[in-house]
Amino acid sequence: MKGTSMAPTDKFIAENTFRVRYAETDAMGVVHHASHIVYFEAGRSHYARVRGHDYAQFERSGYFLLVAEIHARYAKAAVYDQLITVRCWIDEMKSRSVTFGYEIVDAESRETLVTGTSKHICIEKSGKVVPIPMEWRAWGQE
């Protein structure tokens, strides 16, 4: 499975490409594993933006997506200055929760570096769990 793309073929996939920063590496000489969790986040921010409803606007509307669960599998290390692409899609959309899927690949070779998912619960400012607004929910049907 190492290095094999797990990305779906029937879903919209947003791709966000950027370079690894030095601060994101650690003493092992490679990207620290928590940095990839931040890359996932950059990937889903980008997903929302290219789908037409950015997450900043979502929060300004009074909604938040709480992170309920994170899973990441590391196949190959990334290094400083490497050009990487975060591929992000909707893995599962429910009325009150959404799961994003991710694949981080080398931007040039397309080799898989990390795969993962993140599950989020939709809440209001008060903390109450609420249905995800319809324009976002439509993404799950593609």
Where on the chain is the footprint of its own copies (CB under 8 A)?
18-19, 21-23, 25-30, 32-35, 37-38, 41-42, 45, 49, 54-56, 59, 64, 66-74, 77, 79-81
Is the Cβ of residue 125 or residue 134 nearer to its own copies in the bound state? 125
Q: How many CB atoms lie within 10 A of CB 101?
A: 22
Q: Which residue has the tokens 């931040």?
A: 38
Is the Cβ of residue 27 or residue 134 nearer to its own copies in the bound state? 27
| CB 60 within 8 Å of CB 31 | no
Shortest distance, position 129 Cβ to its own copies, whole Å = 12
Coil, strand or helix at 133: coil
Shortest distance, position 119 Cβ to its own copies, whole Å = 9
Is the Cβ of residue 26 or residue 142 nearer to its own copies in the bound state? 26
Is the Cβ of residue 45 or residue 140 nearer to its own copies in the bound state? 45
Shortest distance, position 101 Cβ to its own copies, whole Å = 15
Q: How far is CA 102 from the centre of its chain?
A: 5
Phi-psi region of 132 (alpha: psi -120 to 50; beta: other; left: phi over 0): beta
Cβ neighbors of 26 (< 8 A, separation 6 or more) are: 32
What is the phi/psi pair of residue 48, to 5°? -60, -40
Is the Cβ of residue 33 or residue 96 nearer to its own copies in the bound state? 33
Q: Provide the residue type at 12 as one letter.
A: F
Shortest distance, position 111 Cβ to its own copies, whole Å = 16
Shortest distance, position 136 Cβ to its own copies, whole Å = 16
